């Protein structure tokens, strides 16, 4: 059984990458709540000889504000350990000489302070929530359709997420709308993009087989990591659904109740 | 050459179907303007022994208001001759026992007066323009995702259209957003749906090979009609672009400068 086998990779393991929302905490009013055992699990990983990074598709807050939120929940995390789509997008924009038209959440705008946005030659969308108005989406569309070669970057490709008052459309839906209208394919920045996972591996100076990803999203966390050559383990918290364990295309290397159990199994293998 | 050949079908022809916007008139402020020669061309067709129907994906006005607009432009048209997506959708909804959540332009709502919309078990979207707010799209999404078997009807599947102040996203973009978020395929009502073209043929009591479609939209008018076994002719007015004449998948049976030229060629073949 995969569930019994995966911790055996623990012996050769040199680094662990953790998804955040749904693994460390559940989002909700007032910043959400820590998932039981997860604060202690992060502490144990930090006390081990394993490298640790955090990898999130969070795009409603800049990293500083996001890390502050997690510290308030009790986690020992620093900004330099957190990988999120916006800084990855900024690096791509600068490298390729793109000046974006930004359709993102206001809280994310500080991440783009260093980027030239005059006379845009591409569009960047993130989960803009109520900023996804008819006018704003049309404006982004008009920028794209006015370009000789339209280029669209999407910070993640989620379908929807849970808000305190119900489900809400995520950035992926609006990405599809613009892709169809402009007859183009967006470049996704963030999970499950291989470039994004590779940037985390590069930062740890590890090969894929030396790293393990733990997440609650079977396709974007587990499948994305596996696609890069890493192991991928799913937790039964966050957006996990029982049907994930019989998914048609993605099979996790292991499924555990929560982060605490995953960390205990990994560390037990190493001693 | 197809352009020389197609009028030869005129001898066996028994009915003509005309697209409206871009063939009869160009939209714009104050209801738009008639395309030169088109008012006279409609008169000539009506004076001939050919049956005549109008087929539009217009969804911002109900048929009465839409026909009134065309009468003011000088066209001799009656409501019973006009086929548009909303009445076709109403027929489908009633036939299959669907109670729709409606996300359509206010001007279209009267078409749905006879439909039960309590406790919705499907969603119908049309080009809702500024009613495509974040809140309204989320509301439609929540209705769909809350259904055991989500059903989405889309009145047309256009990518975008021209407004007086620039291009605007059409219903197809929002259809794609909801399709992706809910992992479903919408049922398109209107052109290029074969059911829609067939309903016009049924009304004329004609076989496909006895009818000819004239439109400015290569894919939805010409390709859609050809898919049903009709001939399809494109006019070089409206949304026609020169690149249409070397399209990868759709080749019109003929391409003419405008409706006036098409009608003259058809009637000349019959005498």
Residue B239, token pair as written in the block = 């949304």
B125 phi and psi, to 5 degrees?
A: -115, 145
Could you state, in order of their start, the residue ranges of all structural domains in chain B? 2-52+205-269, 86-189
Cα–Cα–Cα angle for A197, A202, A205, rounded to 5 degrees: 130
Distance CA B88, CA B79 (A): 14
DSSP-based three-state secondary structure for A101: strand
DSSP-based three-state secondary structure for A231: strand
Could you identify the residue written with the tokens 């402009």?
Answer: A182
pLDDT for B81 equals: 97
Distance CA B235, CA B233 (A): 7
Contacts of A129 in chain B (CB under 8 A): 134
Chain B residues 114-153 within an 8 A CB cutoff of chain A = 129-135, 137-138, 141-142, 145
Each of the 271 residues of chain A gets a pLDDT tens digit; together they read 445 567 777 678 999 999 999 999 998 777 789 999 999 999 999 999 999 999 999 898 899 999 999 999 999 999 999 999 999 999 999 999 999 999 999 999 999 999 999 999 999 999 999 999 999 999 999 999 999 999 999 999 999 987 777 889 999 999 999 999 999 999 999 999 999 999 999 999 999 999 999 999 999 999 999 999 999 999 999 989 899 999 999 999 999 999 999 999 999 988 7
Distance CA B113, CA B132 (A): 21
| Chain B interface test: which of A144, A159, A169, A239 (most B C-beta within 10 Å) | A169
Please judge whether B179 and A176 are an interchain contact, meaning their C-beta atoms are less than 8 angstroms apart: yes
B41 contacts B263 by C-beta, under 8 angstroms: yes
Min Cα distance A200 → chain B (Å) is 28
Q: Residue B51 pairs with which residues in a beta bridge? A: B15
Going by C-alpha positions, the residue among A84, A61, A71 that lies closest to residue A39 is A71
Given pLDDT bands bounded at 50, 70 and 90, which one contains residue B4? Answer: low
Contacts of A160 in chain B (CB under 8 A): 141, 145, 181
Q: Does B268 touch chain A (CB under 8 A)?
A: no
Q: Residue B124 pairs with which residues in a beta bridge? A: B102, B153
| Chain B interface test: which of A176, A179, A243, A248 (most B C-beta within 10 Å) | A176
**What is the second-level CATH architecture of the domain A2-56+64-77+192-270?**
3-Layer(aba) Sandwich (3.40)
> What are B49-102's pLDDT values in tens digits?
999 999 999 898 899 999 999 999 999 999 999 999 999 999 999 999 999 999
For the segment(s) A86-189, the CATH number from 3.90.79.10, 3.40.640.10, 3.40.50.1000, 3.40.980.10 is 3.40.50.1000
Q: How many residues does chain B have?
A: 271
Is pLDDT larger for residue B163 or for residue A140?
A: A140
Distance CA B3, CA B258 (A): 13
- Examine domains B2-52+205-269 and B86-189 and report if their fold is the same: yes
CB-neighbour burial class of residue A240 (10 A; exposed 0-12, middle 13-18, buried 19+): buried
Distance CA B78, CA B71 (A): 9
Looking at CATH, the fold of the domain delimited by B2-52+205-269 is given as Rossmann fold (3.40.50)
Distance CA B261, CA A209 (A): 69
Question: What ipTM goes with this model?
Answer: 0.88
Q: Does A79 touch chain B (CB under 8 A)?
A: no
| Chain A interface test: which of B181, B186, B219, B241 (most A C-beta within 10 Å) | B181
Helix (H), strand (E) at residue B34: strand B33-34
Query: Could you tell me which chain A residue has the CA closest to the CA of B170?
Result: A181
Please judge whether A181 and B170 are an interchain contact, meaning their C-beta atoms are less than 8 angstroms apart: yes
Please judge whether B132 and A134 are an interchain contact, meaning their C-beta atoms are less than 8 angstroms apart: yes
For β-strands A82-83 and B160-163, DSSP reports them as: unpaired
């Amino acid at each position: 059984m995969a569930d019994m086998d995966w911790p055996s990779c623990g012996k050769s393991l040199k680094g662990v990458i953790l998804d955040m929302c749904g693994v460390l905490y559940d989002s909700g009013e007032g910043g959400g709540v820590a998932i039981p055992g997860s604060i202690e699990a992060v502490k144990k990983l930090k006390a081990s000889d394993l490298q640790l990074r955090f990898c999130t598709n969070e795009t409603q807050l800049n990293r500083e504000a996001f890390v502050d939120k997690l510290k308030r929940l009790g986690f020992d995390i620093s900004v330099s350990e957190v990988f999120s789509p916006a800084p990855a997008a900024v690096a791509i924009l600068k490298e390729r000489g793109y000046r974006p038209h930004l359709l993102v959440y206001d809280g994310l705008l500080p991440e783009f302070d260093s980027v030239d946005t005059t006379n845009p030659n591409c569009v960047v969308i993130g989960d803009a929530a109520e900023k996804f108005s008819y006018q704003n989406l049309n404006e982004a569309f008009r920028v794209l359709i006015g370009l000789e070669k339209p280029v669209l970057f999407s910070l993640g490709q989620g379908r929807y997420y849970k808000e305190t008052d119900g489900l809400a459309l995520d950035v992926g839906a609006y990405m599809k709308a613009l892709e169809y209208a402009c007859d183009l394919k967006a470049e996704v920045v963030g999970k499950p993009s291989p470039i994004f996972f590779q940037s985390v591996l590069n930062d740890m100076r590890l090969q894929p087989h030396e790293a393990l990803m733990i997440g609650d999203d079977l396709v974007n966390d587990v499948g994305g990591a596996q696609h890069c050559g890493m192991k991928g383990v799913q937790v039964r918290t966050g957006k996990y659904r029982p049907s994930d364990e019989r998914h048609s295309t993605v099979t996790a290397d292991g499924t555990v109740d929560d982060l605490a159990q995953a960390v205990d199994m990994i560390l037990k293998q190493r001693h």
